[in-house]
Amino acid sequence: MTKRWDYLHEKISHHLQFIYADVVTTTPMGELATELMNTIGLHSEDDIVIPEPHKNYWDEQDIIMITYGDSVMNEHESPLFTLFRFLHTYCKNTVNKVHILPFFPFSSDDGFSVINYSSVNESLGTWSDVHRIAAEYGLMFDLVINHCSSRSMWFDNFIKGEGPGSDFFLTADPATDLSEVTRPRTSPLLRETETANGTQYVWCTFSHDQVDFDFRNPKVLLTFIQIIKHYIDNGAKIFRLDAVAFLWKIIGTKCINLPQTHEVIRLMRTLIEHVDPSIMIITETNIPNRENLTYFGNANEAHAIYNFSLPPLLVNTMVTGDCTYLKSWMMSMPPAQNGTTYFNFIASHDGIGLRPAEGLLSDEEIGTLVQSMQNFGGRISWRSTDHGQQKPYEINITLFDAMQGTVKGPDKYQVDRFLCAHAIMLGMEGIPGLYIHSLLGTSNDYDKVANTGQNRSINRKRWDYSELEAQLDSPYSQHHKVLTRLSQLIRIRKAQEAFHPNATQFTLQLGTALFGYWRQSLNRRQSIFCISNVTDEEQSILLSDLNLIGTDNWIDLITRDQIEDVLGFIQLKPYQTVWLSNMDYEEYRKANN
């Protein structure tokens, strides 16, 4: 073999030695390293691509839409084809990447209890439908890595005690003290299961239909590298590692964020980036902010991490009219070094997670936020603490309905408040992700909650495509207004160098009613002051507080109004955002035509 191949083989062996240091395995680490390299397609020197350290494979053009494969449905065609039509018709000039939530055969949790990782759910379409979307959009695939369905072939073989998967699952003695284990759900941790080898107690972090893998078995790791290769071959450009924080378990610990988990991610990063350095890994770790940040590693783990603290803090800001907590959090966030970035979102298929707000919002603030969301029709999902107490885990509500009003109650500013929240998110450091139901201004789906009995269904509406078309083509509908105005904001964002995900960002000190930050492009040519009125009253700002350079020509990119006097002031209507840029107006107009 060549020097390059030997170096990579040694690096992978090092990862494996760390992961399995305390595990008795029958396979030598060098042999396993070779098998992993061959599995992902790194057979020889010619297959290995050398990644450039700290390179950003993203820019201000990148906007990710998050959607289920069947969020839009049309009679007599596959939902994935209907999704392609929707993207082509309504999102072609705004979205360039798409996260299709798990589109594999599943048994529960709207896709996150996977029965078969290698095929497309027949009710959604075929691999050809996936390839059609992948030809025009960068696709994010879910790698549901912590658990699979109890109806999978693997778990059937576990019950039978023979065949592939028979040794894939984690079991524990129910007499063991498991009180330290971090739980995102209130169901019992262990599932009693009758097998050919007697009664087994299977570890289930989330639900008894979602049985946890035992990564102490190297066969499990090898199987997931096979899955990764399969997804790359079918168009995956981004991997979302679902619930990855729970991957490795050690009795007597919290069984979350363990060093072996981080090393598995580093191993996957090493393998993937030597196949194609432009393929991204995003870790989905719905945990307190400080713990979440560790998944960057030293630019050798996730390329991007979900900014899970943003949704609860931003929603809290909008309903209280006070940006104190959001501002404090933003000032505390370290700039992502080149080669890494944040994945910003304020709505997703799940609810508004509250664990990432722990330590950032007080219990009283969280209680007020929860009550406000319940007043707007939201539901609350709960979790058990280490001491058996029940605490709110997430708020289940559509973001559009979460913006109905303030702590004082509903008001007339729902659309403006909703767009203000998105303007704040779109200008921030990182890559923006927009949930399809935010793009569409979808309201709470109470019928689906009643049908499924699941709180999260409130934000998982399935639109009939013809009905959706009628709404989007009507200038009077909330859906038309939201999509039109959001699309305008996105198009403006995509034209600005200062909105590169890694461009410089500083938080501005403008009081509690005005939330602001400054962005500067990597080449320092463009500056943008992003300022939002987060209250239901007019606010004014002295431009002298911003220290605008008097020799530059300043404009508001959103209204296209020019700033005539940099020592004057501007009035911001309730929930108005301005993006004040020193880019010449003619340059801006050319960039947007």
Binding residues for substrate: 109, 147, 240-242, 349-350, 456
267-294, pLDDT tens digit by residue? Answer: 999 999 999 999 999 999 988 889 999 9
541-569, pLDDT tens digit by residue? Answer: 999 889 888 778 899 999 999 998 888 89
State the pLDDT at residue 589: 54
pLDDT band at 2 (very low <50, low <70, confident <90, very high): confident
Residue 408 contacts by C-beta under 8 Å, 6 or more apart in sequence? Answer: none
Across the chain, mean pLDDT equals 95
Q: Lowest-confidence range among 450-454, 529-533, 562-566?
A: 562-566
**Quick one: which of 438, 388, 452, 578 has its CA closest to 110?**
452
pLDDT band at 593 (very low <50, low <70, confident <90, very high): low
State the pLDDT at residue 534: 98
Q: Look at residue 586 and tell me whether its pLDDT is greater than 70.
A: no
**Which two structure tokens, joined as six digits, stand for 410?**
């509903």
How many angstroms separate the first and last alpha carbons of the chain? 53
Has this prediction a pTM greater than 0.75?
yes
- Which helix (H) or strand (E) element contains residue 194? strand 190-195
* Dist CA 436 CA 479 (whole Å): 11
Q: Which class for 59: exposed (0-12), middle (13-18), buried (19 or more C-beta within 10 A)?
A: middle
Is 242 designated active site?
yes
179-229, pLDDT tens digit by residue? Answer: 999 988 878 999 999 999 999 999 999 999 999 999 999 999 999 999 999
Residue 395 contacts by C-beta under 8 Å, 6 or more apart in sequence? Answer: 312, 315, 351, 352, 354, 369, 370, 373, 378, 379, 380, 381, 402
CA 154 to chain centre: 28
State the pLDDT at residue 585: 45
Q: Look at residue 458 and tell me whether its pLDDT is greater than 70.
A: yes
138-187, pLDDT tens digit by residue? Answer: 999 999 999 999 999 999 999 999 999 999 999 999 999 999 999 888 78
pLDDT band at 99 (very low <50, low <70, confident <90, very high): very high
Q: What percent of the chain is modeled with pLDDT above 90?
A: 88
State the pLDDT at residue 27: 84
pLDDT band at 24 (very low <50, low <70, confident <90, very high): confident
pLDDT band at 345 (very low <50, low <70, confident <90, very high): very high
Catalytic residue selected from 242, 322, 445, 556: 242
State the pLDDT at residue 79: 98
- Which helix (H) or strand (E) element contains residue 32? helix 29-40
CATH topology of domain 64-104+112-140+251-314+334-412+434-499: TIM Barrel (3.20.20)
pLDDT band at 358 (very low <50, low <70, confident <90, very high): confident
Q: Look at residue 591 and tell me whether its pLDDT is greater than 60.
A: no
State the pLDDT at residue 566: 85
Q: Look at residue 344 and tell me whether its pLDDT is greater than 50.
A: yes
State the pLDDT at residue 185: 80
State the pLDDT at residue 390: 79
* Dist CA 301 CA 196 (whole Å): 39
Binding residues: 109, 147, 240-242, 349-350, 456
Mean pLDDT of 510-538: 97
100-142, pLDDT tens digit by residue? Answer: 999 999 999 999 999 999 999 999 999 999 999 999 999 999 9
State the pLDDT at residue 287: 85
Q: Look at residue 588 and tell me whether its pLDDT is greater than 60.
A: no
Decide if 326 contacts 317 (C-beta within 8 A). yes
